[in-house]
Amino acid sequence: MAKKAAAKKIASKKKSATKTSRRTFPARKGVVAKSGAKKPGAKKATPRRPASPRRPKGPAWQWSAVETAAAIRSGAISAVETVEAHLDRMRTVNPKLNAVVVDLSEEALKAAHAADKQRARGGALGLLHGVPITIKENVDYEGRPNFNGVPANKGLIAPSDAPVVRNLKKSGAIVIGLTNTPEFSFRGFTDNPLHGLTINPWDPNITCGGSSGGAGSAVAAGIGTIAHGNDIGGSLRWPAHCNGVATIKPTQGRIPAFNASATAERPMLAHLMSAQGPLARHVADVRLALEAMSQRDPRDPWWVPAPLVGEKPKGPIKVALAKIPEDMEVDPSVTAALRQAADHLERSGYRVSEVEVPDINGVWQTWCDIITNETVVMQEAGMLKVTSEDFHKAWGGMKAKANVLDLKAWMQATAARSGHIRAWQLFFEDYPVVLAPTTVKPTPGPRDDTVSAERVQEIFWGEIRFISAINVLGLPGAVVPVALHDGKPIGVQLIAGRYREDLALDAAAAIEKRAGVLTHRLWERMA
């Protein structure tokens, strides 16, 4: 009897469970029941179509490099349509700016068609597959003269692409044009007898910076998602500040460099103080471009296979807001921008303290002495023979601030460089990131370095000291826009330890998240 009662109880539970199941999960219309019969009046089920890839908002030339790469990869847009959008933008705005000085439209469209065919075949796609970019006209671009702003260089035909160009092409990027640079890329203002003056898209009465001024002007105006540039005394960070875009001057050795068209090897310290790098409207694009640019090339003996991401410091990360030397007169707008950037970092979890950084004045003077003396011995005579009066004025002003070094003094200066690097590396043990100004004054006029030798010294020593000094240390430095003052962009600099571009870019991204992308305001003004 007990066994029969138990069996009835189990059967009752099963029946109850079946009823509950039917109530909770009713059959949908058109779904075949287990018996194979359809409910009366049921319609055939319509198979769901896969969702169409979504395009980012706005015209394609306004998209970030990250968005553009993802849209092409997903099929939301073709590489051809993307390149055409950027070429249309270039034709619209470049005549006023003179940022792109070599139009590669035909070549770019051929590359875009090939990129679309590659995607259709299901081949492996690079980080920047189909993404339009520009290259600065001072690195080798196969088959073209490496003018570097000098008409006399017409015979320097590049037999191959420079490593940074090769790496970008290998990543799938499509070059739509070459951008302007001053003579021998030696000025902080972009003008030359070959192509003329490049205009700042924010305001024609201020400089677009230099020497990567064409790159900065182009990417700010929407010509290409990423602009290649390089930096030996501020030539990435200064144009980024002037044009309201972001950049990273990487650690020396991060991105390989070499020009096969060069008639002689570059002096050692000039190579150790310079770096290739990207300018872009978004910090995330700078990070993406850095990864693409950093691949190995055996032609650069100084390239270092360092990881792009290092160990994260124990939080909260301490940031040193650099104290400004007393002899530098700081404009209130710069002070406000630095405080705003510090506040953005604090609100993002960083801990910011105003402290004195290691001997910024001595570091700058070491940079000036080394680069000037090396140039005088190795290059000056040849440069002065083929350059303009404007170049002579600007170079004379830069040279006037340097100490003349004999062989012993030269050796002492190079030895002092090692001491400065050590001091900064130890400083980063306590403060992994330094927040510093790009310039302490409003952006100067388009040709201010031709006014007088004294004006050149004011600019490089009195205004952008925190930019040029970092080159002698070989440290990574990012620039990110923070605010507009009188309608003109102001950026700040984030400096980190050797091969810690990730820390500088993380801090820059935290500022950008709260400050916004300033070029959106520029496009409203240009419309």
- Cα separation, 30 vs 44, in Å, equals 5
Is the torsion defined by CA of 318, 319, 322, 323 positive or negative? negative
Cβ contact 286:509 at 8 Å: no
Collect all residues with Cβ–Cβ distance below 8 Å to 58 and sequence separation of at least 6.
none
Q: Which amino acid is at 16?
A: S
Length of the chain: 527
- Cα separation, 16 vs 34, in Å, equals 19
User: Hey, which residues does 211 pair with through a beta bridge?
Assistant: none
How many angstroms separate the first and last alpha carbons of the chain?
Answer: 91
Cβ contact 102:194 at 8 Å: no
> What is the C-alpha R_g of the chain?
28
Q: What are phi and psi of 118, to 5 degrees?
A: -60, -45
- Cα separation, 62 vs 89, in Å, equals 10
Task: Cite the active site residues.
Answer: 136, 211, 235
DSSP-assigned letters across all residues of 312-378:
PPSSSPEEEEEPPPTTSPPPHHHHHHHHHHHHHHHHTT-EEEEE--TTHHHHHHHHHHHHHHHHHHH
- Cα separation, 191 vs 208, in Å, equals 10
- Cα separation, 228 vs 134, in Å, equals 6
- Cα separation, 23 vs 17, in Å, equals 10
64 CB-contact burial (10 Å; exposed 0-12 / middle 13-18 / buried 19+) = buried
Q: Which amino acid is at 422?
A: R
Strand ranges, E, within 401-515: 433-437, 477-485, 488-496
The residue whose two tokens read 């510090």 is: 342
Cβ contact 287:503 at 8 Å: no
Cβ contact 463:439 at 8 Å: yes
Q: What are phi and psi of 269, to 5 degrees?
A: -70, -35
Tokens of 345: 């970092």
Collect all residues with Cβ–Cβ distance below 8 Å to 390 and sequence separation of at least 6.
191, 447, 450
Q: What are phi and psi of 393, to 5 degrees?
A: -65, -45
Cβ contact 200:243 at 8 Å: yes
The residue whose two tokens read 């702003």 is: 149
